[in-house]
Chains A and B, each alone.
Chain A
Amino acid sequence: MPLLEVRDLRTYYYTMRGVVRAVDGVSFTLEKGETLGIAGESGCGKSTLAWSLLKLVPPPGRIVGGSILVDGMDVTKMSEHEVRSKIRWRKISMIFQGAMNAFNPVIKVGDQVIEPLLLHTDMDREEAWARAEEMVKHVGLPPEILERYPHELSGGQKQRLVIAMALLLEPDIVIADEPTTALDVVIQAQILNLMKRLYREKGMSIILITHDLSVIAELAERVAIMYAGKIVELGPAEAVFENPLHPYTQALLKAVPRLRGPKERLYYIPGAPPDLRNPPRGCRFNPRCERRFEPCDREEPPLVEAEKGHYVACWLYARR
């Protein structure tokens, strides 16, 4: 049984100007000790998917369909109390996008880091602090750093603390939403090394979310490509990077600037991602697709297994 199984998940935002279908029929599984990368352009629903897994979708958003099975329990059916006591931090923890900028400036970072321990275990402050010191060493920082205030830390140090915090309760799954975006390349490389090490030592499962395919390549064994609320391609990293099937994946990879090798004109995908209140009919990528043909704007392509373990939702590969 996989550690996590997501089936046909739908999460919509009910705004005054219409329903935003941010996650619209997403399915995938995550095995124990596996790293899954989720990539896609800004606004395609990556963070919304992550929040859904922890049942933390901000209003006016709501999970409206599908299931999220963790150890056979369906998170979507749980009460807030159950999610808090059984899932969050213990089973699944999350490194939130931009969390390092969310430390309260007037409270010592240590007191903020131990908060999940105080909330979710019966440790007292002293025990929690000692535990946090251990974890802080693990992410390569001196334990004294817990005594400091946020403004006394660099961006890279704060991001390490956010990672330490996500690991405190030794969860089975860690979701990392853009863990290195907006960090300098050197610090980014340090954080990626840290995540590789933790992953090897602790055997955790990781869901890595980012728009940066190069970062995904550094960590993920399997890769899911999202477009406009849907997974359009899913497979082993080698297959997705070396033999991308979906025209969207092909275009995304072509747009990545390379540091070495021949320098062609930088490619970009013409047009803009669709308005998720009113997505195009058929395949959502069809208005921007170079290989569009007759069925694409009429019917939605199913996700089919094109090669072993390599799935794609595109009419080029599906039988009608």
Chain B
Amino acid sequence: MSSPELGEVILDLKDLRVWFPIRRGLIETITGRPRLYVRAVDGVSFEIRRRETFCLVGESGCGKTTTGKALLRLVPITGGSARFRPSKEVAEELERRGVEFDEDGMVDIFKLTDKQFHPLRRDIQMVYQDPYGSLNPRFRVRDILEEPLIVHKIGETRSERLEYIARALEMVKLTPVSEFVDRYPHQLSGGQRQRVAIARAIIMNPVLVVADEPVSMLDVSIRAEILELFNILKERIGLSFIYITHDLSTARYVCNRIAVMYLGRIVELGPADDVIQDPQHPYTEALVAAIPEPDPRNRARMRDIKIKGEVPSPVNIPPGCRFHPRCVLYEAALKRGEPWAKLCTQAEPPLVEVKKGHYAACYKHEAARPKGFTG
């Protein structure tokens, strides 16, 4: 992959928390049982640069989609900050609405009122997980793409808007354009639908696109086509992507960096190839070991499963390192009598740099242990 030069930081997310309250029954409310929360995202931080593709990977339910939605303020924000660098047009509009910028020219999108946030919906776009559910079945492709232009008052006349629409469709290679503008979603294949969704996201010339990969089975070929499109868009119009996926092996082809999430937190973050080839967290190791490859020699061997049990509920997060009940490394360290193993049940390990630009949250790394810890 030819990777273009990365630009300045466009998003600086710090300690994002999204907790969904669980509805209590009448009895629980009366007896004053404490409120319980689904801690979907529980302290996530990362930075994204211009022209960067940043991957969030992890098992189902670990909080990937919720993290993406938080950036569009589609879920209630429990805590944290998200400093964002708007495009020039949007920055001017924000100034008119009395928004203050910090010394780096960034705004905290969690601090804005709904009214102030509205113009930012141009700059941050999301492509949803399900290409079937996210397009209105009664709209033609042209209506689907025209709607955001009308909402954000882009293009004075219909024909001007049509020009934007044609350009977006060309960009996602739904050509000849005249062949596609009048179709309804059901007249498109899964991959074509996904491309319409991408066209809708990029038609506004955004700064950041959050692309949530469908879990529903897209064929490898369609997936490859969409990933290739991301790479082209990144080079051509300087977009940044957050790409959400289950699949480390596709992540490797598009991402500059990968963040591995477990139960609402990032447990490892680093350059894409480095994370896959030299994982620094036992959870990442387990994920990498589990991925099948198209090699018929694999038939002769059982897969090594380096993880115990099942994902705990995000309501009852284990104390200490939230991964320890499933961690084979912790189990082995405990057996060997490693002094650091007792840290695993005591406090959440911090995300520390263990190689250049490569971070992990695990006590097996000395840097994660408290200062002066000797056991």
Contact = CB atoms under 8 A, between A and B. Distances in A.
A213 B189 CA distance: 21
A182 B216 contact: yes
Interface stretch (B204-212, B292-300, B331-339): B292-300
Contacts of A252: 220-221
A42 B218 CA distance: 8
B253 to A, nearest CB: 5
Contact of A241 (B246, B249, B253, B296): B296
Given A211-B219, A218-B298, A255-B221, A188 B290 contact: yes
A223 to B, nearest CB: 8
B292 A189 contact: yes
A193 B290 CA distance: 11
Interface string B120-146: 000000000000000000000000000
Nearest to A216: B294
A42 B227 contact: no
B291 A259 contact: yes
Chain A, interface size category, equals: 35 or more
A241 B225 CA distance: 22
B296 A185 contact: no
Contacts, number: 135
A158 to B, nearest CB: 12
B221 A268 contact: yes
Interface residues of B, number: 49
Contacts of A34: none
Given A182-B215, A256-B220, A268-B228, A192 B294 contact: no
B17 to A, nearest CB: 24
A181 interface: yes
B222 A268 contact: yes
Majority-rule SS of B interface residues: helix
A73 B292 CA distance: 38
Nearest to B192: A272
B291 A185 contact: yes
A253 interface: yes
B36 interface: no
Name, among A156, A185, A214, the residue most crowded by chain B CB atoms within 10 Å (CB to CB).
Answer: A185
B51 to A, nearest CB: 18
A273 B221 CA distance: 11
Name, among B228, B249, B299, B305, the residue most crowded by chain A CB atoms within 10 Å (CB to CB).
Answer: B299
Nearest to B1: A263
A27 interface: no
A189 B224 contact: no
Interface in B318-368: none
A269 B59 CA distance: 29
Interface of B: 1, 59-60, 189-192, 215-225, 227-228, 246-250, 252-253, 273, 276-277, 286-296, 298-299, 302-303, 305, 307, 310-311
